[in-house]
Structure 1
Amino acid sequence: MPRQSPRWCLAAAVAVLLTATAASSQSTSSITFQSPAQGWSVAAAPNPLPFGSTAAIHYSVDRLTQCRGNLNGGAPGWTITGHYRFNNGPVHSFWVAGFSSTPNPPAPAIPLSTHGTLAVWFENTSRWGCQAWDSNFGNNYLFTVQ
């Protein structure tokens, strides 16, 4: 087997790194739900969302202030849960803020594994039985995945 020069090996390593960086930057996407102080705006980046990526969810907890309260130790007695579904299919859920039964829950994100319409909405519940919703005036927030 012929021995490769260090210069060739370095060039090959740089090419692999650049390819990996380009691929990871193409798979970065997000959906942002801003606070009332920011005008309640909702935006996807990029728009439409790219199929195969994972959308990071940036949710302002100031959007759902109902159903709040802390336990005696100061821990939250409430949880904000995000829900989503593709093309009116099965509903999936993820933790957003507040109490979590899982230590160190993952950051909120949605894998964009289906082409079509992505519907997203949020629910705040408390241990005292309160329930509140964040949707677009009763309709879920809709995004296109291509």
Structure 2
Amino acid sequence: MLRHPSRWFIATAAALLLSTAAAAQSTSPSITFKSPSQGWGVVASSNPLPYGKTASIIYSVDRLTACRGNINSTTPGWTITGYYQFNNGPVQYFWVAGFSSVPNPPAPSIPLNQKGTLAVWFENTNRWGCQAWDSNYGNNYVFNVQ
């Protein structure tokens, strides 16, 4: 005798699928810049990155160790700044690590408010005039936003 699935089972399975899909869509995108010990990898949580979301930037400060130094042994005399640009437009920036003139700066992130090409790169500077860059051998890290 062949039994048909109950309506309860079908409704439960459908609800589970919908909640799983909604959870996957609500996950915040991220871009991870791994440390040298992790192979210097750069990984986006999805390709393309989802338009309209905000991507968390997970940056290993071990990538830019030049230009370090502290003031009074406790205050960083250096800052890592992230830069980004959509479709060769205006350059925007955000604090990543080190000294910040703003108390409790926000976690590094990029609002994905434009579709197309997103370029990202990083700079470490210090109060003594040193400057170092993290880009893909002179080319910025590039991602697609759709």
- What whole-Å deviation, never above 9, does each CA across 1:97-126 have from its counterpart, x for those lacking one? 000000000000000000000000000000
Aligned length: 129
Gaps of 5+ in 1: 1-14
- TM-score, normalising length: structure 1: 0.83
The residue number in structure 2 matching 1:145 is 145
The residue number in structure 2 matching 1:126 is 126
The yes-or-no answer on 1:66 pairing with 2:66 is: yes
> RMSD of the alignment, in Å?
1.8
- What whole-Å deviation, never above 9, does each CA across 1:41-86 have from its counterpart, x for those lacking one? 0010111100000000000000000000000151100000000000
Identity of aligned pairs, percent?
72
Q: What SS does structure 2 have at the residue aligned with 1:28?
A: coil
Gaps of 5+ in 2: 1-14
The yes-or-no answer on 1:56 pairing with 2:56 is: yes
Which AA in structure 2 matches 1:39?
G
The residue number in structure 1 matching 2:32 is 32
The residue number in structure 2 matching 1:116 is 116
- TM-score, normalising length: structure 2: 0.83
CA contact (8 A) 1:27 1:50 kept: no
Q: 1 CA distance for matches of 2:34 and 2:45?
A: 14
The residue number in structure 2 matching 1:78 is 78
CA contact (8 A) 1:32 1:44 kept: yes
